[in-house]
Amino acid sequence: MGDEAMRDRGEEEETGATKRKDAGATKKVAFFGMFRYATRADLALMGVGTVAAMVNGMSEPLMTVVFAAVIESFGGSDNSAVLHRVSKVVMYYIYLGIGTALASFLQVSCWTMAGERQSARLRSLYLEAVLKQDVSFFDVEMTTGEAISRMSADTVLVQDALGEKVGKYAQLLTTFVGGFVIGFVRGWTLALVMLACIPPSILSFATVSRLRAQISARRQASYDDAGNVVEQSIRAIRTVVSFNGEKKAVALYNALIKKAYKATVLEGLVTGLGIGCIFCVVFCSYSLAFWYGAKLIISKGYTGGQVINVVFAILTGSMAIGNASPSISAIAEGQSAAHRLFEIINRKPKIDISDTSGIVLDDIKGDVELNNVFFRYPARPEQLILNGLSLQVPSGTTMAIVGESGSGKSTLISLVERFYDPQAGEVLIDGINIKNLKLQWIRGKISLVSQEPLLFMTSIKDNITYGKEDATLEEIKRAAELANAANFIEKLPNAYETMVGQSGAQLSGGQKQRIAIARAILKNPKVLLLDEATSALDVESERVVQEALNRIMVGITTLIVAHRLSTVRNADCITVVHQGKVVEQGAHDQLIKDPDGAYCQLIKLQQVHTEGMHEVPYASDSRLKSRSLSLEQSMRDSPRNRRQHSVKPLGLSGSDDLQGPANTSSQEHKEFGDSEAPQKAPIGRLFNLNKPEAPILLLAVIAAFVHGLLFPLFSIMMSGGIRTFYYPAHQLRKDSRFWALLCLLLAIISLIAIQLEFFLFGMAGGKLVERVRALSFQSIMHQEVAWFDDPSNSSGALGARLFIDALNIRRLVGDNLAILVQCTITLISGFAIAFASDWKLTLIVICVIPFLGLQNYIQVKFLNSFSEDAKVMYEDASQVVAEAVGSIRTVASFCAEKRVITMYSKKCQATMKQGIRSGMVGGLGFSFSNLMLYLTYALCFYVGAQFVHDGKSTFKDVFRVYFALVFTAFGISQTSAMASDSTKAQESTTSILAVIDRRSKIDPTSDEGIKLEKVDGNIDFNHVSFKYPSRPDVQVFSDFTLGIPSGKTTALVGESGSGKSTVIALLERFYDPDSGTISLDGTELKNLTLSWLRDQMGLVSQEPVLFNDTIRANIAYGKRGEATEEEIITVAKAANAHEFISSLPQGYNTNVGERGTQLSGGQKQRVAIARAILKDPRVLLLDEATSALDAESERSVQDALDKVMVSRTTIVVAHRLSTIKGADTIAVIKDGSVAEKGKHESLMGIKGGVYASLVELHSKASAS
């Protein structure tokens, strides 16, 4: 039963992206095609399951025969012989019950196991296929969001179609065939007449199914887009917050879920119509049966039992087709989902990592050559990047590639790694075209260290071993020492076991880069590709890493893309690239002689001041902190800490190992712990949220009330109708007409009531989901930045939560409320009728009912504990996929595909076992309730016969009790099917309300606080001490005091990790200090209106975050999207971005791709600067803002910044001297406080001062 909910959840998540691409929904895999990945064991399970399903399916038609025999025994004999005849027939019920119980257990458990096993295999295969696609596939065909949503959604749909639904379908098909066979054998005339009712029900059904599929596809598409908004906003939360973009994200999200609401209402309308028609047809056919059956008894000599047998058999058969509808639609959805999955699984990438053909050289020298290469990116085919470029790098030499931003330097690296193949020309290694070499082998010989290093959400040790999976701890430590990472790693509380957080957010840029270099060193490559590899390091680390690189570069062919001269000048050869061509080549000393050469021009640009490239200390620990460190061990360390944190409703995990599923689930419990105690409260809250729809809900409840009365009323008609069959002819004629007309009336009422009920509940439920989603996302967007540092609030986990939880809640209010009302009414009126007819018999039968209740209760309890665990594991597994697909280039360059798949399969293994367990429990419950049902029938008729025999009751009353209880049970059984749904919905409600209720510690929406009339821009830090909430054992600032005068530029320098970027994070109020004050113009920041404060600040950080939208939209984001064309162009010119934007084929309408991948680092940075200037901020915060630019762009961006810095307070974190020397004040940060402060000249005058020694260190480094 859990799979019912699973199906719906999958249905919801089903990606709409495909629909956008190729109306993929219409393409399907053949039914048997879905089982192509089944093993022998799966086939055996499915075989046993199918046989059991057929046996189970046959039980209902056989029961009609037994039932007819019971009626004959009662109606056809006098009261004395009744008991003897009935006791013989009743034994058949007992045999049937035992057979059915066994069959139904086997059916459910075998099919569930087969489905879980195959879908686990399918998930791994799909992930494997996605990971082996070439990089261009992700540029053009599929975003990360799509890959993840297919992974979670489509596999659930397929699992459903491979599992229990097929068993159910086989069972119902057998019932259908069996019913008709028995009907025609017992009385073909009546059977033929009854058949007239079938075409209308099939017709209405087919129409409804088609409409539903179309509507659900529409709804999917809008959910898919909404999911993308969530993923992007949370991943870039710091950017969103600093530009006050929360409202914009929320508005965009709300617009998308509004579309989904319209589809939900339509779906309610259509479903109601379908179910209403089916009820209507059923009641009409009974009406026909009473009238025509009576005629046959009079004219053809049929008996009453025979008429009832035919009617019941035909109706059982045709109802089976109606009940098969969820199975049929689940299988159809599964087929189209399978088509989408298989399409990727079977897609042969042009550059295939799994291709084992290709040459493997015994020994590779490492000569790299590009020969007349032409290249365009698949995502921008109109723009030529490399234009006939040729380049030779002899083995063991170092080739530096320099040139302006966007000239194609990084493209060369991608071609050597074979992320792309050139459209013309060839890339050769050791004289062999790289296309002819075995891809995995050649990538194993090449190491890549790129500009924005991507780390995985695991420990430092595991991240380094991506270089070599079976590395010993010694090798890992050696690589870390070579990369100058050992020192900082060993200082961390958990050393190599420290978790790095999502995308390495717990480490600073410099630390991430060193781990990436250690990972590359461990690979022991023959060719080393360094794409701006040291741009994020401070001087000291850069020098040591450079030495390390120099040591390992010996005898290794190295290609360096860089724009710092110190990195480049020692290269054996320097190539200057301009507009996709090589314009100059030679050694530094040789090139420097031609003053008009391209290289000299670049140098001149860089030597802005006489001291040229002397750089200055820096800490890219910038992001160390700014990203904050959620190393969970922190929480575990001291009981005191734990107490402090227990205040947080969405808590932090209590263990230092994030990977064990065990702890994650305990963490989830802790998280929602406070709202778990009052498990009933959420429902009340939900109705509160649904208050605006109260009138609609009221009408819906009335409709459900009428729907609930249908069955009990029908029981009166059935018993009355059957009794008339045993009356004399003249009375039979009159009475049968009366009952037939009553049935017709019931048919009309049912059509109207059910249609209304579904439509109105659809409206109310749809509104609720929309409201819950909007409120949750709004609440998420308002949380303080520290909240997102907790791994359980990563973009993957929150996205999954918004998706699945809101849907489960809708079931609770829409569908489950309807069923609750219906069942209550059915129960009350059913019992009332039964007691009125014969209270003694009713009491005896009721004694058996607690058994059925107990069985249901046990089943619900079991399913409950299952669904909780499964949910946690599921979120865990989807985080693995999100990461791997998000950093596909890193995965590809380290050939880590197998490793990711193993990790994923491990996490899925647990989910699969869980699913199998719930299948077993479901099967047991199912078989027990079947057995009890047949035994109850047997009891009812046996005792009834006893009463009739003793003259205490009559034929009519016994059957009225029977039908009243049967139809009541039928009504109630529908609720137990919803059990697993409602337990899921309960949890979801609790989890979503915990998010909605969490009050942010730093809330950007609150209007409290002062807005200053005029901002001068004086900033003061007074005795500030600060630790990151997620790493409370690392003290960042202790007694930090610094005054920043208005309108002046202050530069912050210091080693990596000294807390320079933390200054910026505190000014933006991403975090609040633990003690001390920070003030703007004498007013403490906490007392200012937060959104107003952030409007005064313009932040440009080291790794600029752009959204997957046009360049225009990205710039306009600076002004919350409300900027005129003129303003945009003006700021783009100021940021020196206008030229390159205009040269793009689509200009400002160019889409920047996911995370801005379609632009080069320098281009992204300039767009980010334009965005920051658009705000016209009073305070500019530049966190390494020009580190990613080449000399040419840096100079013009620096000019632009110099222009906008005039009369603004500016805080610069940087390590290039050219950026810092002109600053009005330089503050040197060391050990959490300001060590020195003053102008460049005065600081240089301090003998043995920190600043002077850093500068000296640097001049040595560049002189060498």
What average pLDDT score do residues 305-331 get?
84
Ramachandran angles phi, psi of 1221, nearest 5°: -55, -35
What is the structure's pLDDT at 1022?
92
Give the model confidence (pLDDT) of 697-727 as tens digits. 889 989 989 988 888 888 888 888 888 888 8
Task: Please give the pLDDT value at position 26.
Answer: 59
Residue 678 pLDDT? 39
Q: Write down the pLDDT at residue 856.
A: 64
Q: Which amino acid is at 1080?
A: L
Q: What confidence score (pLDDT) does residue 1262 get?
A: 59
Rounded distance between C-alpha atoms, residue 1063 and residue 1050, angstroms: 12
The percent of residues above 70 in pLDDT, for the chain, comes to: 85
> Token pair for residue 631?
């190393």
Sheet holding 1083-1084, edge to edge: 1035-1044, 1019-1027, 1075-1080, 1083-1084
Res. 302 pLDDT band, cuts 50 70 90: confident
Residues 638-646 have a mean pLDDT of 32
Q: ∠ CA 467-472-477 to the nearest 5 degrees?
A: 75
Averaged pLDDT for residues 906-915: 78
Q: How confident is the model at residue 638 (pLDDT cuts 50, 70, 90)?
A: very low
Distances (CA, A) of 341 to 4, 9, 128, 338: 21, 18, 11, 5
H-run or E-run covering 401? strand 398-403
Residues 6+ apart with CB under 8 A from 105: 52, 923, 924, 926, 927
Whether residue 193 is predicted with pLDDT greater than 90 in this model: the reply is: no
584-589 mean pLDDT: 86
Per-residue model confidence (pLDDT) at position 48:
95
Q: Is the predicted pLDDT of residue 689 greater than 90, yes or no? A: no
pLDDT, tens only, 375-430:
888 888 888 888 888 888 888 888 888 887 777 888 888 888 888 888 888 888 88
Q: Name the residue with higher pLDDT: 1230 or 638.
A: 1230
For the chain, what are the domain ranges? Answer: 368-614, 1019-1263
Q: Is the pLDDT of residue 1074 over 70?
A: yes
> In terms of Cα–Cα distance, which of 1082, 1085, 1077, 1079 is closest to 1039?
1077
CB-CB contact of 801 with 995 (8 Å): yes
Question: Measured between alpha carbons, how far is 1102 from 224 in angstroms, rounded to an integer?
Answer: 30
Strand partners, 187: none
Q: How confident is the model at residue 977 (pLDDT cuts 50, 70, 90)?
A: low
Determine whether domain 1019-1263 maps to CATH 3.40.50.300.
yes
Pick the CATH number of 368-614 from 3.40.50.300, 2.60.40.10, 3.30.70.260, 3.30.70.20: 3.40.50.300
| Lowest pLDDT segment from 195-199, 257-261, 607-611, 875-879 | 607-611
User: What sign results for the dihedral spanned by CA atoms 174, 176, 179, 185?
Assistant: negative
Residue type, 1116: A
The answer, yes or no, to whether residue 56 has pLDDT greater than 90, is: yes
pLDDT of residue 43: 93
- How confident is the model over 1058-1074, as a mean pLDDT? 88
Report the C-alpha dihedral over residues 66, 67, 69, 74, rounded to 10 degrees: 150
Q: Kindly state the percentage of the chain with pLDDT values over 90.
A: 8
Confidence bin at 857 (pLDDT 50/70/90): low
Nearest to 242 by CA among 1053, 992, 1120, 1040: 1120
Does residue 1101 register a pLDDT over 90? Answer: no
Contact of 983 with 864, CB cutoff 8 Å: yes
What does the pLDDT read at residue 1245? 83
Mean pLDDT of 754-765: 88
| Res 333: pLDDT | 83
Q: Any bridge partners for residue 586, and if so which? A: 574
Summarize pLDDT for 485-504 with one digit per residue, the tens.
787 888 877 788 888 777 77
**pTM (predicted TM-score):** 0.62
Residue pair 528/520 in contact (Cβ under 8 Å)? The answer is yes
Does the structure show a pLDDT above 90 at 173?
A: yes
pLDDT of residue 309: 92
- pLDDT value at 1258 more than 90: no
Kindly list the distances between the CA atom of residue 334 and the CA atoms of 263, 289, 1179, in Å, as whole numbers in the listed order: 21, 39, 55
Rounded to whole angstroms, how far apart are CA atoms 259 and 1075?
A: 47
Q: Are both 368-614 and 1019-1263 of the same fold?
A: yes
In this prediction, residue 865 carries a pLDDT of: 54
* Nearest Cα to Cα of residue 808 among 994, 649, 992: 992
- Residue 538 or residue 646, greater confidence: 538
What 1244-1252 contacts at long range (C-beta under 8 Å, 24+ apart), as own/partner pairs, is: 1251/617, 1251/1053, 1251/1226
How many other C-beta atoms lie within 10 A of the C-beta of residue 524? Answer: 15
- Which residues 6+ apart lie within 8 Å of 459 measured at CB? 494, 496, 497, 498, 499, 500
pLDDT-derived band at 870, boundaries 50, 70, 90? low
The 10 Å CB-count burial string (b at 16+, else e) for 324-353 is: bbbbbbbbbbbbbbbbbbbebbeeeeebbb
Between residues 12 and 333, which one has the greater pLDDT?
333
pLDDT for 862 equals 58
pLDDT of 547 higher than 80: no
How confident is residue 747, by pLDDT bands cut at 50, 70 and 90? Answer: very high
Closest CA relative to residue 33, chosen from 346, 347, 348, 355: 346
pLDDT above 80 for 910: no
Which pLDDT score is estimated for 199? 82
The reported pLDDT for the residue numbered 606 is 66
Average confidence (pLDDT) over 141-152: 75
Average pLDDT over residues 783-797: 83
Query: What average pLDDT does range 469-497 have in this prediction?
Result: 82
The pLDDT assigned to 624 comes to 33
Q: Is the pLDDT of residue 1102 over 60?
A: yes
H helical segments located in 950-1076? 955-977, 979-997, 1060-1067
Longest dimension (CA), the chain: 125
Mean pLDDT of the chain: 79
Q: Residue written as tokens 């990977």? A: 659
| pLDDT for 659 | 32
